[in-house]
């Protein structure tokens, strides 16, 4: 086993590592760079298949009007769209490369659905929808960090990122946290629906809010770059690179010499020494993926909730000690409008266009993203094809009145997984301990479901819209999981961390991803993930 003394050879500064390249990694990296550090980012770094990347690059050199029907067909390639009644799975240019799975260096054995994990450059942000909102105090009842402090660090994490937002009704409870955001334009459908909301519903602080969706997406010409081209393919992969991905930002910092990016490495375990931290890392580029040792002064673990939990369990030899992994679950709800909705597809942005936030007193916020134009829906209904018969024509009529809500709940009301590190059975042929995962529960709690359904029906009927609850589908494939190693003001259990993401006995190892969240707000967690990681990295260096 070889040992590498990691750090910049020409600098006496503190040697710092960040494990992972997703949203939490980027938040920590931005704080470290702001403090003058040059961290080494250790990452598996899987990327989109070369042939798909090349074709996407070729399309980026053309305007959407010059794309052929074959180009559109390739962009829309998604076999999960035709999978019966299931919710289509988000892919990038037809690839699910960013979804992690079992591998020999990090074995995993799922029972039921595999919880989301990733080994991709950028983590799961490589395929996310880029929706962002800051947290609300009502959703942080079990957090040891004040909401004002989290907002301050969320604002710092937002600096320099493409941010489409409008200072509208959402700001009543959710501050915009930016001086000059650059909003993308709404489709005609989005403008129509927002007008319906404005004329039929009243903003009620702490109870009911709505406004234009806040997205990390680059508007046309923002920062001197191309930005959104309104090509109608946001849910299939952005050929123009307008949708924010953590990996893009990390590689830009690497090219600028502000960080070092080391791909092809998978962290197996770590240990804190008297004067530093030793990492045991699989070199995936070498035959047999041998373990190497790397030494640092301080380490920030941002491998994602599942992988960070695996690393911690392996490091502590925590066998047969199950941990609960919480989710931010919900459902997808089709809604029929009694009035026709103008359609622009494919000449529009197909990310969610409207956010609807609502809650009953004493309860958490329920978050609904209104998707009025979406190519996956267009493809599933087949209305992108020329009409061929009565059924086809009826579908086209229905499509002009149909839209979808993605409804998400706080983790207190959502499903859970159980994670457990297990020794391999002699007869299994395995040599490595493996992570056993089990989906324990999926649907939201009944009283929460009924309460939110009542509010949705009441408000949608005022718009002249009918929620089609019999056609709703539970969203068990949420990217949003965490809470296995929750932060506490006074950590007591072996898996509880302090406000800087440190387990008992660890002073130089900070876990910064969603595994340390005490709970997951329903109102999107991407910005909170970056902001909390920024906070930990910033404070840890200030106090070192």
**Measuring CA to CA, which residue among 213, 200, 171, 204 is closest to residue 368?**
213
Instruction: List phi, psi (to 5°) of 417.
Output: -120, 160
For the chain, what is the total number of helices (H) and then of strands (E)? 11, 21
Angle CA 262–267–272, to nearest 5: 110
The string over 223-250, giving b where at least 16 C-beta atoms fall within 10 Å of a residue's C-beta and e elsewhere, is eeeebbbbbbbbbbbbbbebbbbbbebb
Length of the chain: 544
Is the confidence at residue 11, as pLDDT, over 60? no
Is the confidence at residue 439, as pLDDT, over 80? yes
pLDDT attached to residue 14: 83
Is the confidence at residue 386, as pLDDT, over 60? no
pLDDT attached to residue 330: 84
pLDDT attached to residue 6: 44
Residue 530, CB-side half-sphere exposure with 13 Å CA sphere: 31
Q: Higher confidence at residue 328 or residue 461?
A: 461
Read off the pLDDT of each residue in 217-238 and give the average, rounded to a whole number. Answer: 86
Instruction: Determine if the peptide bond prior to 346 is cis (ω within 30°).
Output: yes
Percent of the chain scoring above 70 in pLDDT: 90
Q: Higher confidence at residue 7 or residue 25?
A: 25
Q: What is the DSSP letter of 160?
A: T
Q: Higher confidence at residue 354 or residue 361?
A: 354
Is the confidence at residue 380, as pLDDT, over 70? no
What's the CA gap between 246 and 178, in Å, rounded?
Answer: 19
What's the CA gap between 436 and 128, in Å, rounded?
Answer: 26
What are the strands of the beta sheet with 108-111, ordered from one edge?
108-111, 434-441, 416-422, 323-327, 481-482
Read off the pLDDT of each residue in 392-415 and give the average, rounded to a whole number. Answer: 83
Among 88-92, 294-298, 407-411, the range with the most confident prediction by mean pLDDT is 294-298
pLDDT attached to residue 2: 46
Convert 109-124 into a string of H (helix), E (strand) and C (coil).
Answer: EEECCCCCCCCECCHH
pLDDT, the chain, mean:
90
What's the CA gap between 404 and 194, in Å, rounded?
Answer: 14
pLDDT confidence bin for 362, thresholds 50/70/90: confident
Read off the pLDDT of each residue in 31-35 and give the average, rounded to a whole number. Answer: 96
In the chain, how long is the greatest CA-to-CA distance? 75
pLDDT in tens, 181-222: 999 999 999 999 999 999 999 999 999 999 999 999 999 976
Q: Higher confidence at residue 37 or residue 76?
A: 37
Is the confidence at residue 398, as pLDDT, over 90? no
pLDDT attached to residue 388: 58
What's the CA gap between 9 and 29, in Å, rounded?
Answer: 19
């Amino acid at each position: 086993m070889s040992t590498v003394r990691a750090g910049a050879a020409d600098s006496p500064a503190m040697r710092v590592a960040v494990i992972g390249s997703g949203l939490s990694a980027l938040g920590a990296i931005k704080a470290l760079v702001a403090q003058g550090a040059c961290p080494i980012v250790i990452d598996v770094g899987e990327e989109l298949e070369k042939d798909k990347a090349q074709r996407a690059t070729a399309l980026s050199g053309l305007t959407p009007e010059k794309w052929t029907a074959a180009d559109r067909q390739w962009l829309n390639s998604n076999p999960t769209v035709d999978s019966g009644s299931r919710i289509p799975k988000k892919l990038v240019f037809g690839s699910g490369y960013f979804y992690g799975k079992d591998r020999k260096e990090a074995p995993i054995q799922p029972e039921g659905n595999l919880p989301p994990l990733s080994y991709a450059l950028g983590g799961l942000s490589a395929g996310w929808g880029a929706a962002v909102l800051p947290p609300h105090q009502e959703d942080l009842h079990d957090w040891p960090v004040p909401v004002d402090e989290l907002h301050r660090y969320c604002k710092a994490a937002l600096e320099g990122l493409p941010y489409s937002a409008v200072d509208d009704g959402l700001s009543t409870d959710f501050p915009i946290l930016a001086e000059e955001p650059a909003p993308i334009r709404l489709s005609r459908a989005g403008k129509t629906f927002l007008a319906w909301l404005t004329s039929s519903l009243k903003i009620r602080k702490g109870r009911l809010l709505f406004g234009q969706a806040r997205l990390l997406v680059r508007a046309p010409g923002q920062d001197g770059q191309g930005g959104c081209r309104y090509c109608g393919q946001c849910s299939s992969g952005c050929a123009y690179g307008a949708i924010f991905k953590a990996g893009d930002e990390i590689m830009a910092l690497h090219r600028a010499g502000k960080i070092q990016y080391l791909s092809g490495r998978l962290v197996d375990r770590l240990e804190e020494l008297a004067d530093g931290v030793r990492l045991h890392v699989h070199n995936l580029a070498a035959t047999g993926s041998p373990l190497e040792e790397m030494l640092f002064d301080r380490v920030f673990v941002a491998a994602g909730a599942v992988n960070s939990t695996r690393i911690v369990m392996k490091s502590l030899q925590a066998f047969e000690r199950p941990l609960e992994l919480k989710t931010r679950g919900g459902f997808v709800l089709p809604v029929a409008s009694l009035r026709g909705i103008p359609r622009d597809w494919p000449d529009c942005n197909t990310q969610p266009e409207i956010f609807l936030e609502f809650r009953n007193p004493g309860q958490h916020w329920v978050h609904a993203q209104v998707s009025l134009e979406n190519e996956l829906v267009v493809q599933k209904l087949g209305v992108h094809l020329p009409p061929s018969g009565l059924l086809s024509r009826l579908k086209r009529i229905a499509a002009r009145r149909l839209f979808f809500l993605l409804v998400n709940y706080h983790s207190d009301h959502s499903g859970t997984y159980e994670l457990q590190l297990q020794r391999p059975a002699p007869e299994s042929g395995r040599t490595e301990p493996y992570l056993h995962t089990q989906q324990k529960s999926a649907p939201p709690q009944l009283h929460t479901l009924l309460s939110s359904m009542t509010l949705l029906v009441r408000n949608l009927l005022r718009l002249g819209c009918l929620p089609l609850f019999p056609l709703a589908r539970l969203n068990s494939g949420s990217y949003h999981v965490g809470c296995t190693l929750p932060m506490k003001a006074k950590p007591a259990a072996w898996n509880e961390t302090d406000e800087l993401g440190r387990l008992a006995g660890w002073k130089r190892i900070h876990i910064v991803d969603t595994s340390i969240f005490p709970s997951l707000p329903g109102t999107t967690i991407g910005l909170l993930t970056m902001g909390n990681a920024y906070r930990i990295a910033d404070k840890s260096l200030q106090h070192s």
